[in-house]
Structure formats: structure tokens, C-alpha cells
Amino acid sequence: MRGYKEFLLEEDASGVVEVILIIVVLIGAVVIFRKQLQALVGDLLDSVENKAKAIE
């Protein structure tokens, strides 16, 4: 019985579960906001390209 009680109190895997949940939430956010993120990245790249052309 003592081994079962220790097994229930063991928290070694809780860190792994937390990391997996964080990754799932991040992937979900990317999927939900995919179009907005694509537009944002596209605008940033256009801005960088225009500023690079201005320097030349």
C-alpha cells in the first residue's frame, strides 16, 4: 500500500504535461489567428523590403 501512496504523490511527469499543454494552446492560437498572423508577417516583410530599398 505504501508504494501506491508514493505513486499517487509523485509529481515527476507534471512538468511534461504542462509543457505539452502549453504547446497545444500555442498551436491552437496559431490555427485560430492564422490569417491575422500571415497579414502581420506580410506587412512586416513589406516594410523591411521598402526600407532596404530606401537605403540603397
pLDDT tens for 2-53 read: 777 776 677 666 778 888 999 999 999 999 999 999 999 999 999 999 999 8
Q: What is the pTM of this model?
A: 0.53
> Which residues fall within 8 angstroms of residue 6, CB to CB, at 6 or more apart?
none
Q: Domain count of the chain?
A: 1
Query: What burial letters (b/e) apply to 5-41, b meaning 16+ CB within 10 Å?
Result: eeeeeeeeeeeeeeeeeeeeeeeeeeeeeeeeeeeee
Residue 50: in which H helix or E strand, if any?
Answer: helix 34-55
Check the CA dihedral 12-17-18-20 and report its sign.
positive
pLDDT of residue 21: 93
Query: In terms of residue numbers, what domain contains 6?
Result: 2-55
